[in-house]
A and B are shown apart, each in its own frame.
Chain A
């Protein structure tokens, strides 16, 4: 190794050391842990136990089902809303565009606990503003925290509220990269605004929407804060328990680190598979 490189690595060493100890090692070690029985001390080598349990554990399947339900409803709804929002935020007709863009981006900056508390208050079954509005227009009040379906809807709405503006800003950047004269050419081609959106805007936004979808898939696979804080640890009765929450429960409540590690690898694996499917579905058609 040349002297210059040695010096360079010397400067990099503190970072590499921390990276190795706190990133690389846990990744390797947790993989090893997933093959141990960690239900009692001392931990023992039991390669089939945790991975085998995943297949037959109803609590895991419940968490997986919940996560996928949220994923398949929330991500498409949110991306559709974000695209619509981006188009509106890009409109020349919109006044105070800077403020509007910030306003929709702001939820990302709000602390999770604060926003969860606000959602709990708003959706409170007895005195929350949402039920007041529902009953005000003649609809029945909803038991947001005790009805499993309503609780799931609440989680989906909360996550969507929090991340829609963030995705809209990313999509907005994509919109702004489409040159005006392409739309002018389409206008001269007598293509209506609606058709321009579906046949020009959407296809040109595809790569950026794909990025948003993949980021959202990864985020949703790890969903933790909302079911933990808003629906009170995945309630009612595990109806909103996600894989992230299940992992947390196994690892840090039950202290079964081997099983938690297997769950963690499953989450990562699923996120990768679903993302790859997205990339494949959204590939450039040739």
Chain B
């Protein structure tokens, strides 16, 4: 088992720089998820760790060893690809054993490893089948099996679940979590799905435009995002952002006017004082809205669509000036069919960001 360290990793494709000095520490046995919108460089960063791409600058260490010039196969890693990348002309068994056979691994050991992987993933019955005779979920298991057989120090997953349907995705997510607790191996997992990130990770790395925006435990990122991007990315439904301008600012608090909420005012605690007149953004998670009068600032909303899920409901509502907000409510049968809603923002749970998206409170 091994940890992974990235030091100021830069990647350029020709003149285009896609990774801008990424530094990161992955502890031994940790499950780390790289998450971010498509094109943020998360897959590239993973491929740099794998050795499928060279870093233009910076250092990559695996188990304390500098591996920049080490061949991918000698880095002690195994990778699961988004498209599974199974060898289409080989049976499942051959797929699993191919790498070992090609490298002259003793037959008995190969068989033992293949058998063990098949048991862990419960694919014993599929061993004689070809990839095209398997379902998406089964293919994914085989792809993971091929990684397990290598007995790697570090597992790399590149969006492994994105080709599966929603139900299978949940099922495989649980499987991968189980695998991690069974093997205890370091895993780095790339996804654009923040739910996957939240549910799987010991540590999440949020990337945007080739830069690491924040690193932390899932709930820490959720509760304490470093900036507006992370706040918006983590959580489903998304955090609501409301335009505002600073009316007054004193030591430790600022009063802002919500521009699109009919001029409603709210006073928020701030650590980094904005100046009067600054454009700012107030962020409120859907579940943090309270009933009218129970928060610090009431806003009137016209309900656009209401999704009643049984235990909870998501209200998609518009303010007078057309800004859409999502409000989560504890399900109340009496609210079905309602057209208007007054929600209240609790100052203690609201976030404040400056025009550049930097967190102010």
Q: Is B99 an interface residue (CB 8 A)?
A: yes
Interface of chain A residues 152 through 191 with chain B (CB within 8 A): 179, 181-182, 184-191
Q: Is B190 an interface residue (CB 8 A)?
A: no
The size class of the interface chain A forms with chain B is: 10 to 19
With contact pairs A184-B52, A185-B79 given, residues A191 and B98 touching in the complex (Cβ less than 8 Å): yes
Whether the pair A189, B83 counts as a contact (CB closer than 8 A) is no
Whether the pair A190, B85 counts as a contact (CB closer than 8 A) is no
Q: Is B89 an interface residue (CB 8 A)?
A: yes
Q: Is A9 an interface residue (CB 8 A)?
A: no
Whether the pair B77, A188 counts as a contact (CB closer than 8 A) is yes
Complex Cα gap A192–B103 (Å): 9
Complex Cα gap A19–B74 (Å): 64
Contacts of B77 in A (CB 8 A): 188
Whether the pair A187, B52 counts as a contact (CB closer than 8 A) is yes
Whether the pair A199, B73 counts as a contact (CB closer than 8 A) is no
With contact pairs A190-B74, A200-B87, A203-B89 given, residues A185 and B81 touching in the complex (Cβ less than 8 Å): yes
Contacts of A192 in B (CB 8 A): 102
With contact pairs A181-B81, A182-B87, A203-B89 given, residues A188 and B98 touching in the complex (Cβ less than 8 Å): no
Interface of A, helix, strand, loop or mixed by DSSP: helix
Size of the chain B interface, CB-CB below 8 angstroms: 23
Which residue on chain B has the smallest CB distance to residue A195? Answer: B102
Q: Is A69 an interface residue (CB 8 A)?
A: no
Whether the pair A179, B83 counts as a contact (CB closer than 8 A) is yes
Contacts of B72 in A (CB 8 A): 187-188
Whether the pair A185, B89 counts as a contact (CB closer than 8 A) is no
Minimum C-beta distance from A44 to chain B (A): 58
Whether the pair B73, A187 counts as a contact (CB closer than 8 A) is yes
Complex Cα gap A254–B77 (Å): 74
Whether the pair A188, B50 counts as a contact (CB closer than 8 A) is yes
Checking A179, A188, A204 against B78 with a beta-carbon cut-off of 8 angstroms, the contacting residue is A188
Q: Is B150 an interface residue (CB 8 A)?
A: yes
Complex Cα gap A200–B95 (Å): 11
Which residue on chain A has the smallest CB distance to residue B75? Answer: A188
With contact pairs A195-B102, A199-B98, A199-B102 given, residues A188 and B79 touching in the complex (Cβ less than 8 Å): yes
In the complex, per-residue mask of B75-104: 1 if CB is within 8 Å of any chain A CB, else 0:
001110111011111000000001100110
Complex Cα gap A195–B74 (Å): 17
Known A-B contacts: A187-B52, A204-B88. Give 14 more (CB < 8 A): A182-B88, A185-B85, A185-B86, A186-B98, A186-B99, A187-B72, A188-B50, A189-B103, A190-B102, A190-B103, A191-B98, A191-B103, A200-B89, A204-B89
Residues of B within 8 A of A (CB): 50, 52, 71-74, 77-79, 81-83, 85-89, 98-99, 102-103, 146, 150
Ordered by A's residue number, 18 sampled pairs between the chains whose C-beta atoms are within 8 Å are A184-B79, A184-B81, A184-B85, A185-B81, A185-B85, A186-B98, A188-B50, A188-B72, A188-B73, A189-B98, A189-B103, A190-B71, A190-B99, A190-B102, A191-B98, A191-B99, A199-B102, A206-B89
